[in-house]
A and B are shown apart, each in its own frame.
Chain A
Amino acid sequence: MHPDDRAVVAQAKSGDQAAFRLLVERHSRSIYRIAFRITGRHEDAEDMVQETFVRAYRQLDRFEARSNFGTWLYRIGFNCAIDYARSRRNRETPSDPLTIDQRAADSGQPSTDDMVYAGQIHARVEQALGRLTEQERTAFVMRHYHECPIDEISEALGVKTNAAKHAVFRAVKKMRVALRPLLARAPHSSTSTL
């Protein structure tokens, strides 16, 4: 929590919009990073930042002074992300990996190989994230992109610690399966010995 958040939040709760603006200035970038990880699109991420702060403002009376404002905001942000991801999933179908591979193969420009490959990685990562459940994706993003401790993840998700741990674990397993083909080293067969 920013050292001065507590006082600023108190001012914002009393209706001081200048104070709320200060909170937006302090926290909007971190919410944007979360939003971008989950949506993968700048415009959508900005929409989520907007929605997060609007929801936060409307719920400000429920915020307890003892809590960490940043964590509380994260929770709202992740909830927005979950809602958003659900609505987007209903509207769109992720592109097929074969399409991406074909696009890369069709580009035909040796000098752009690296860019194509980097784009493939990016696309695969986004696809892999997109195929996680909302809870898994949120847990994974919080844990591995934002280094949140498990108790913070469980608080944000509104689940028990073990459930949060398990959500992270399931996400890692699925990401491993999805991204393994991109690793330079061929998958080994050691798992069969276990």
Chain B
Amino acid sequence: MKETTRTQVETMTTHPTEDELIQHGSDDLPADAAAEIGVHLGSCEPCRAICEEVRAVLRLAEATPVPEPGDGFEARMWLRIAPQLRRPDEGWHWQQFAAMAGWAALVAAIAGLTVMSRGPQKIPTAVAAEQSAPTAPERVLLTALDEHFTQTELLLVELLNAPDTTGDSLQFERAAAGDLVASGRLYRETAQETGQQGFADILDDLEPVLVDVARSPAASGSRDLDAWRARIEDAGLLFKVRAATNEVKERRDPLATASKGAL
């Protein structure tokens, strides 16, 4: 605050300027100036009202919420960012689109079965066991996941054991990873919709590594391989995939033994 203003405040014969009061209300004045105005505000209702109004406006603005982007935001953003860190000419191949169409049909089938299964629940008399058999849409998903996790396990094992190289010897792995990313997204969505969050979580864990492999340049070298291996091992992905495969098989067993023909 200027010297003249300080004198004015001290003598209480005049008021701080409106600009000073706004700055005071928004805590943007230096401490010494703020203290002087604070003294003035103790005995000046009009000036105090201005400061309070500024504070109220700021509270109003600050109270406007920012919705959290939700779980998986970071992974989602990485999926959007990662491809742009690579060569722009890397896109999807027609085979991947064809595979997507197939998976889309599978998801549609699951969705259709889900709707159909919302009628009166049939409880097979043969299944009096404690563990209930999967519903039809779950069974379709489990069948798909069985294949998906098996393929994923093969890919992870290949990556862990691949010889260090600077050539394009990972062409097959790259294509396989691309296919698994595309199918995994659909299965994850379906798993969430059918309440099988555990499988969805594993698919979520797998996706970032698969995306990196799929998007890697043709000249991927030992550094990329080392990074992938570290991530696979650090996250225990191979273990998770094997456990998931076992769980899928176990959950399909009651179907095979006691509820044939439910579809």
A-side residues, CB < 8 A to B, are: 15-18, 20-21, 24-25, 28-29, 32-33, 36-37, 42, 45-46, 49-50, 53-54, 57, 121-122, 125-126, 128-129, 143-145, 165, 168-169, 172-173, 175-176, 179-180, 182-183, 185, 187-188, 190-191, 193-194
> Do A20 and B28 touch across chains, with their CB atoms under 8 A apart?
no
> Do A172 and B58 touch across chains, with their CB atoms under 8 A apart?
yes
Task: Decide yes or no whether B54 CB sits under 8 A from chain A.
Answer: yes
Of A125, A129, A175, A190, most buried by chain B (CB within 10 Å of CB) is A190
Can you name 9 extra interface pairs (CB under 8 A) apart from A144-B58, A188-B46? A21-B82, A122-B64, A126-B64, A128-B61, A145-B62, A169-B26, A173-B19, A173-B22, A176-B22
- Chain B interface mostly: helix
Chain B 41-76 per-residue mask, 1 if CB under 8 angstroms from chain A, else 0: 000011101100110111011101011110001101
Number of B residues near A (Cβ < 8 Å) is 44
Query: Which listed residue, B23, B46, B64, B82, touches A17 by the CB 8 Å rule?
Result: B82
- Chain A interface mostly: helix
| Chain A neighbourhood of B46, CB < 8 A | 188, 190-191, 193-194
Given A21-B78, A21-B82, A172-B22, A183 contacting B57 (CB threshold 8 A): yes
| Chain B neighbourhood of A21, CB < 8 A | 78, 82, 208
> Do A176 and B66 touch across chains, with their CB atoms under 8 A apart?
no
> Do B85 and A54 touch across chains, with their CB atoms under 8 A apart?
yes
5 chain-A/chain-B pairs, Cβ below 8 angstroms: A57-B81, A145-B62, A190-B45, A194-B15, A194-B17
> Do B60 and A144 touch across chains, with their CB atoms under 8 A apart?
no
